[in-house]
Amino acid sequence: MIVLGLETSCDETSAAVVKNGKKIISCAVASSLEFHKKYGGVIPEIASRAQLETITGITDCAIREAKIKLRDINLISVTSGPGLIGSLLVGISFAKALSLSLNKPLLGINHVYSHFYANFLSGEKIRLPFMALVVSGGHTNLFFVRDFDKIELLGQTQDDACGEAFDKVAKILNLGYPGGPAIEKIALRGNPDKIKFNCSGTKNELDFSFSGIKTAVLYYVRDRKTKVRRQDTADLAASFQEAVIDTLVRKALLACKLKKINRLVIGGGVAANSRLRGKFNQAARKFNLNCYFPPSSLCMDNAAMIAGLAYQLFKKGHCSGLGLSAELN
Ligand code: KG4
Ligand code: ZN
Q: What is the pLDDT of residues 71-122, one digit of tens each?
A: 999 999 999 999 999 999 999 999 999 999 999 999 999 999 999 999 999 8
Q: Which mutation among 111, 214, 242, 270 tests ligand 1's pocket best, with the greatest number of atoms within 8 A of CB? A: 270
At residue 1, the 3 state secondary structure works out as coil
For residue 209, the model assigns a pLDDT of 98
Q: Which mutation among 14, 29, 87, 166 tests ligand 1's pocket best, with the greatest number of atoms within 8 A of CB? A: 166
Quote the pTM value. 0.96
Could you read off the pLDDT of 5-30 as tens digits, one per residue? 999 999 999 999 999 999 999 999 99
Atom of ligand 1 nearest to the CA of 138: 7
For residue 34, the model assigns a pLDDT of 85
Q: Is the CB of 311 under 6 A from ligand 1?
A: no
- Statement: residue 224 has pLDDT above 90: no
- Statement: residue 41 has pLDDT above 90: no
Could you read off the pLDDT of 277-327 as tens digits, one per residue? 999 999 999 999 999 999 999 999 999 999 999 999 999 999 999 999 999
For the chain, which domains are there? 2-117+299-315 (3.30.420.40), 128-293 (3.30.420.40)
How distant, in Å, are the alpha carbons of 4, 143, 153, 212, 254 from that of 202?
40, 17, 16, 11, 14
Rounded CA-CA distance 153/93 in Å is 29
For residue 226, the model assigns a pLDDT of 59
For residue 229, the model assigns a pLDDT of 76
Give the burial class of 285: count Cβ atoms within 10 A of its Cβ; 0-12 exposed, 13-18 middle, 19 or more buried: exposed
For residue 179, the model assigns a pLDDT of 95
Q: What is the mean pLDDT of residues 220-245?
A: 88
